[in-house]
Every structure is written in structure tokens, then in C-alpha cells.
Structure 1
Amino acid sequence: MPRDSNGHLVPGRISPPRSVPGDIARPEYVGKKAPKTFTGGDVYSAASVDLIRESSVIAAQAIQAVGRAVRPGVTTDELDAIGHDFVVAAGAYPSCLGYRGFPKSVCTSLNEVICHGIPDDTVLQDGDIINIDITAYKNGVHGDSNVTFLVGDVSTEVVDLVERTRESLNRGIKAVAPGRQVNVIGRAIESYARRFDYGVVRDFTGHGVGEAFHSGLIIPHYDSAPRFDDEIVQNMVFTIEPMLTLGGSPEWDMWADGWTVVTRDRSVTAQFEHTLVVTERGAEVLTIA
């Protein structure tokens, strides 16, 4: 079981990438080292938003299917298989698979893993928490979401972290309105998280999504004013995905795999994410199961 003597995670065995039927369209980056530089924008027509909504719903439903299988004794690789199969059955491509060489279809980030955990033979244990991050690509557009799930009997302190991280996402969404700058989102998230002395991860952010998996638009989760002053406009599409740490520090380390990001103090961390479109007065969440 890939954990050290202190119970912290260590890299496990990664199985081969899962196959996708040939009739399912691939994003342009599959089989390449990196995606093409995105030259489009983050504002979409109503018809394009409908397509992003379809991809977003597939991602959200896939996450819930994986979540129903979360329990002690299950491996993260088994969870990857469930997410992969759900997305493919919906006629979509799992966007993570092959993105900059990522070897799996789902990101499974367990306990101290902030984001981008690679599914392997790690076995879930009672008291763990796990973030399931799935992006689906269909009709030429991506929809991106993640949810943190409890594994068995979890301590009150960690349950509170999970629920407050979910609430921090809600508060970030409520801050969205045309004419504001994107930095208001992080201000709303950090002002809430600091009430509980949680760390707010800064270096991994929300992003523009749609025709590109990551468009280049950055959505910070901390109070970054006056930086990140992009104006929020109607029909803009992006993700908000706060990552909060129980240890109070935003510092992180990366494993040698070049993907797995863990809290430097190895404290537990939680995350939630939605893809949304800006409306006339606020935002509509697209990643609804």
C-alpha cells in the first residue's frame, strides 16, 4: 500500500492508459507534448454555451458516478476506470487523458494532494478524503468540474474543511457579475477561508475553459488586487476551483512525476470546482449533474 510510516502518500503503481473508441473526437493536444497556443476568447455565443453545458453535465455526472464508488478498500485506479467509462459512454473524451502527457482520465487527489493526483494502486482508507476532477470534451468544447468526497468516518475537523471549501466556491460564484474584475472572486474566497485560518493555495487557479481546456484566463482564489484585473463580461466562461489547506499554509511541493502537488506541511487539503457562464447579473453554473 503506497503510504509511508507516517501515513503520508507515496507514488504507487500506475496502470496503462485506458483506450477511447476511435469514433470519439480527440482534443487537438492528444499525442502531442503540449496544446497549441489558444488564440480565441473567453466569451461565447448562446449556441456555444449550450455545447459547453453538455460537456459540463457529462463531467458532473461522471464525478457523481465515481463518488458513489468511493469507500474504504477501493483503489484510485478503480475510480479512474469508472470515470473513464462514464465519459466515453456519453460519447465524450476524458480531457485529462494525454493532456501534456497526463496518463489517466481522472485526477484523484487524496488527503494532502492539492491537485493533479494520478490514479494508481493506492487504496482508500477510512478517514481519507479524495478529490475527483473530471473534464469532458464533446462537440469541440470542454466542461470541467471537481468534488471532494469523504471516505468512511472522517474527523470533524476535516469534514468542516470540506464543507467550508464547498462554501468558499459558492461565495466565489456569488461575487461574479459583469463589470467587475476577476480578482473580486479570490477576495470573496480568501476573506471567508481566513476566518478559519485555512491556507488558500495561490499557484493553482481557475481558468478560462471551452474551446480550450485552459484558455489563458486566470481566476485567482486569493485577494490579488490590483493584479488579475480582467473585466468580467456577459457570456464569459471560466472555472472557479478553490483549494484550501488545513495547515494554514499555501506552500506546496511537486512529486517527481511532474503532476502530483502536495501541501508542503502534508496537511489535508480540499477543493471544489464548477464551470460557469456569466449572465446579465451573475453566473450560471454549467457543471450540474
Structure 2
Amino acid sequence: MKTLRFLVTLTFFITFTCQQVNAQDDIKALKAQVKNKKDQISANEEILVSGVGALKRVKGNLERFKTSKKATKQEVERKEKIVANMQQRLSKLNSQIDLHKKDLASLERKLARKLKKEETKEAEVKEEAKVTTASTGLVVYEDNISDEQKEVLLQKQKLEEARKKLDEERKARELAYLKEQEALRLEEEKLKQLSNQIKAKEQNISKEKNTLISDLEDDISINEEILISGKEGLAKMKSKLEEAKKDASTSKESIERKQAIINKIENRLLKIENEIDAKKQELAKIKG
């Protein structure tokens, strides 16, 4: 009976050991992934913090350059583009860090589930082992260190925590600065776009106004030429009419016809004069 119980226990332990090895391999791989991801995040955060520091220096240099005598519009715009490009790159890096942190959280949750599952299995094995083995006492070894040494270790721990907290606060400040500057850049970009839209509309209005002025001036010029020619023709027609009236051979119908033509010409010329006056008034209003 004891032999059978021993064999059952042995089989159980062998099976558990194989499962445990596989589980430990998975856990080991996950821990390695978590560590690599944390290292990647830390490296990127250091680059980000350094980049924000560089951004501050570049912006400071730009503000000082704007007040110098050497500052030209083209050079200022070039330096502003450099600053904007730096901000965009740093913002992109910050977004990548956020994605890495999400990946890290997913890996840590997966690792936690694996560890919890492994702890449950180990607890079950220990419970099973109690059936076939005598319970033994657990020896707890305490570090043989003095109270003074314990105090030093505690202070070191507090110092490390304080440094970590300070570093996190520093990163948070730099990140807040970056977000603030990026928000300002985007707002400036919106205002710039709005300004360009307004300028484009103003240019379009000015172009339309100039076109209208040009058209009116052309119409006035053409009508004035027609008016001058018409008046010259009218004068000739009136002269011929007077000659016809003096000529006894001219019939009454011919004289009346010539007079009717003259009347029509005069009416037409009057309309042209009125049109010229109206266009000149409109032109004066447009020009202001």
C-alpha cells in the first residue's frame, strides 16, 4: 500500500515538474519581455527629456535672435520651422512612449495571470504532498545585522525612492512643457491658417475690385469715344439738314426724314452721356 502511494506521488510530482518547467519558461520569457519593454520606455523617456531641454534652448535662442539686428524675416521663419519640427518629433516620441506603456501594461497583466496560476498549482502540490509526507518545520533565517545597519539600509531605500520620485517629477515637468508648447504651436498654426485665408479673401476681393474698376474705365473710355464720334456725325447731319432746307429742290419728306434721323442720333447720344455719368459715379464709389 505504501509502495502504491509512493508511486502515485512520484508520478504526480514528475507530471507537475514537467508542467512547472514549461510554465517557468513562459514566465521567464514574459519577464524578459517586460524588462525589455521597461528598458525601451526608460531610454525613450531619457531621450524625450533631453530633447525637451534642447527645445527650450533653441526656443530661447530664437527669441533672442528675433531682437537682434541680424534677424531677417526669412531667417526667423527658418528657425521657427526648426523649432516646430523639433516639437513635432518630440510629440511623436511621446506618443510612441504611450503606446509602449500600453504594451507594457498588457504584458504585466499577462505575467500576473501566469504567476497567479503558478502559485495556485504550487499550493495544490503542497496540499497533495501533505498526504504522503510528514510535515516538516520551516526554518527561517534572519539576517544577522545590527540595528544601525538596518537603519542604513532603510535610509538607502528612502534615498532611492526620493531619487526616483524626483526623476519622475522632472520627467513630468518636461512632458508638461512639451504638451504646452505643442498646444501653442497648433494654436499658432490655426491662427496662421486663418490669417492666410483672410489674406486670400482680401486678395480675391481686391482682384475683383480691380477687375471691376478696369471694366468700368474701359466702358467709359469706349462710350466717350462713341460719344465724340457721334457728336461729330451729328454736327455733319445738322449741317446737311440746313443745306437741304436752303435748297428749294429738296422735298419736305426728305427734310423730315433727315430731322428724324438727327433726333434719333441725339437721343442715342444722350443715353450714352447718361451711361457715362452713371459709370463714373459707380467708379467713384468703388475707388472710395
Report the TM range for the smaller structure's normalisation: under 0.3
Higher-strand-fraction structure = 1
Higher-helix-fraction structure = 2
TM-score calculated relative to the size of structure 1: 0.18
TM-score calculated relative to the size of structure 2: 0.18
